[in-house]
Structure 1
Amino acid sequence: MSRRIEFTANYSLPAEVVHRTLTAPAFWNDRVAKGADSGVTLTRLESGPGTIDVAVNQVVDTSALPSIVTKLIKGDLAILRSENWSPVAGGSAAGSFAVDTTGIPVTVRGTYTLTDVDGGSTLTGAGEVDVNVKLIGGTIEGMVVDQVRKIFETDQEAVEEWAAANA
């Protein structure tokens, strides 16, 4: 069984600026450099005019995870996060995201829509979280949904800061 995830991020910037940031290789290189001490690495970065296909890997320190999760982990726990964005057209852009893990069978798949609104833009995302573990998978899915939402909140802050510093 999977669990639905939905989120919204409201930006003070137009969709074109948010999109330009999210498709800038320098933005992703900076994000990875800031997380390098936490085991973050860039595993894929392909970009073209208004597009990007990027994947970031992070080995997770499992000591802070709930025991219900750590008991299930086999080997190292690593998270591979990927994003794809298409060009802006008519004030909006579409993208997709995915999260896969090693050590525990978690997958997250979804789509983004970035649109202009008065005074800025809105990024909406929707997808599915699936934890393939009998009996307690649903409990872990709820934890994953919470963590994915926190990642998107952090992304929003990073986009706003990077865009302001690199305008």
Structure 2
Amino acid sequence: MRVTTREELGGTVEEVYALFTDVAFQEAKCLATTDDANHFSVDVMGGPTGEKVRTERHLKSDGLPDVARSFVGEHLTIIEVQSWSAPAADGSRESAVDMHVKGAPLTLKGTLRLEPAGGATVKVLDLDLKAHVPFIGGKIERAAAEPIEAAIAIESELIREWLAR
């Protein structure tokens, strides 16, 4: 199942990129998208071409089909890794996104791209959500899509708030 968004943000690519690679912003994102403020972690590591951002957070598994909850229990542990490349000649940035649910056959992989648009940035998220479970994978994907899209909307709102500071 494809999950895609495209939106314009009121900051330059470097300003938006700085937020994505800022520990404080990632902690705020985790707090806003978790139901357990005591169970999340953020790690930002520098590299020769760009940063790697790793977050881990817990969410309740309410809303997932019973068979999916049998894999994960009462809580989901979501691990997200963004691997950012160096800026392109036009100033754009791209990250490989790899998100998975610990102990469950559910993955979300794709790209997050930041494109310059005058003094603003267009954020393009293109992900593939897969539940690797025969016969019921589609049902799990549909159930997981809604909270994932809600988390994406929360992150976008946080970006707007932080850029407005």
| TM-score band, normalised by shorter chain | 0.7 to 0.9
| Cα distance in structure 1, aligned partners of 2:29 and 2:158 | 8
**Displacement after TM superposition at 1:58 (Å):** 1.6
Tell me the residue number matched to 1:5.
3
Give the structure-2-normalised TM-score: 0.81
Tell me the residue number matched to 2:25.
27
Which residue identity is paired with 1:78? Answer: T
Write the deviation string for residues 119-162 of structure 1: whole angstroms up to 9, x where unpaired: 52111121211101121111111222333222222111112222
| Cα distance in structure 2, aligned partners of 1:83 and 1:40 | 20
Indicate if the aligned counterparts of 2:30 and 2:57 stay in contact, CA closer than 8 A: no
Which residue identity is paired with 2:17? Answer: H
SS in 2 for 1:126: strand
**Displacement after TM superposition at 1:71 (Å):** 4.6
Number of paired residues?
Answer: 162
Indicate if the aligned counterparts of 1:25 and 1:47 stay in contact, CA closer than 8 A: no
Which residue identity is paired with 2:144? Answer: V
Indicate if the aligned counterparts of 1:46 and 1:53 stay in contact, CA closer than 8 A: yes
Tell me the residue number matched to 2:133.
133
SS in 1 for 2:134: coil
SS in 2 for 1:26: helix
Q: 1:152 to 1:58 in 2, by over 3 A?
A: same
Indicate if the aligned counterparts of 2:43 and 2:55 stay in contact, CA closer than 8 A: yes
Residue pairs, 1:30-109, within 5 angstroms: 30-32=28-30, 37-42=36-41, 44-48=43-47, 51-62=50-61, 64-75=62-73, 76-89=75-88, 90-109=90-109
Tell me the residue number matched to 1:156.
156
SS in 2 for 1:80: strand
Indicate if the aligned counterparts of 2:36 and 2:59 stay in contact, CA closer than 8 A: no
Between 72-81 and 31-40, report the one with greater CA deviation.
Answer: 31-40
Unaligned runs of 5+ in 1: none
**Displacement after TM superposition at 1:94 (Å):** 0.8
Give the root-mean-square deviation of aligned CA atoms: 2.6
| Cα distance in structure 2, aligned partners of 1:27 and 1:51 | 17
| Cα distance in structure 1, aligned partners of 2:150 and 2:163 | 20
Between 137-146 and 108-117, report the one with greater CA deviation.
Answer: 137-146
| Cα distance in structure 2, aligned partners of 1:126 and 1:91 | 19
Percent identity of equivalent pairs:
22
Give the structure-1-normalised TM-score: 0.80
Q: 1:14 aligns with which of 9, 12, 16?
A: 12
